[in-house]
Each structure stands twice: as structure tokens, then as C-alpha cells.
Amino acid sequence: MEDSLSAKITPLSDGSVHLQVLEGSQRLSVTLPQSSYNQLVQFAEARGISIAEAARRAIRRDNFIQSLLQEKGGRLMIETPDGRISYIYFDE
């Protein structure tokens, strides 16, 4: 079952943005640096989705990866187009 979320994004005068995500009766409010907001916008535009949906996907993806690493252990790796293996590390 997929959760339904809505979000409100408000640009702030200092160049950062305020991201407010609502889920049922739960509310999450996050202030993003301009660079993070720009990355979120680029992600959304590249996929033809809303900024709110891009934020939801990022949260779900991070939760999924973190839960796999906790449950299964191991390391997260990516193979680059030239065949090299790179490890991906997350801040805890």
C-alpha cells in the first residue's frame, strides 16, 4: 500500500526554501538550502513529476535502502559505465 502525502514548498527571503509535508494528521516541516531545493526541482522536472512527489520518492528511496542495509547488512555499491565499482556511504 502506498502512502498518500501532500507537500507545500515556500521560497524564503534568504534564498532557502521551506518544505512542509503533510501525511494524515502528521506534519513535517523542513527548511532546505537553495542547492538542495534546486536538486529536488531538477529531479522533478527530469521525470515530469511535482516537487512534492520528488520529495516523497526521495524519502521512500532512502528508507528502503536504509532498511535493506540494516536487515541484510552488507554494502551498497554501484557499477559505473566503465565497469568500476564505487561504494555509496550514508551519514548515520
Q: What is the DSSP string of 32-84?
A: EPHHHHHHHHHHHHHHT--HHHHHHHHHHHHHHHHHHHHHH-S-EEEE-TTS-
Return the pLDDT at 1: 42
For residue range 60-86, what is the model confidence (pLDDT) as tens digits?
888 888 888 888 777 888 999 999 999
52's grid cell = 512534492
Sign for the pseudo-dihedral over CA of 34, 35, 38, 43: negative
Is a pLDDT exceeding 80 seen at residue 7? no
For residue range 25-64, what is the model confidence (pLDDT) as tens digits?
456 677 889 999 999 999 999 999 988 889 889 988 888 8
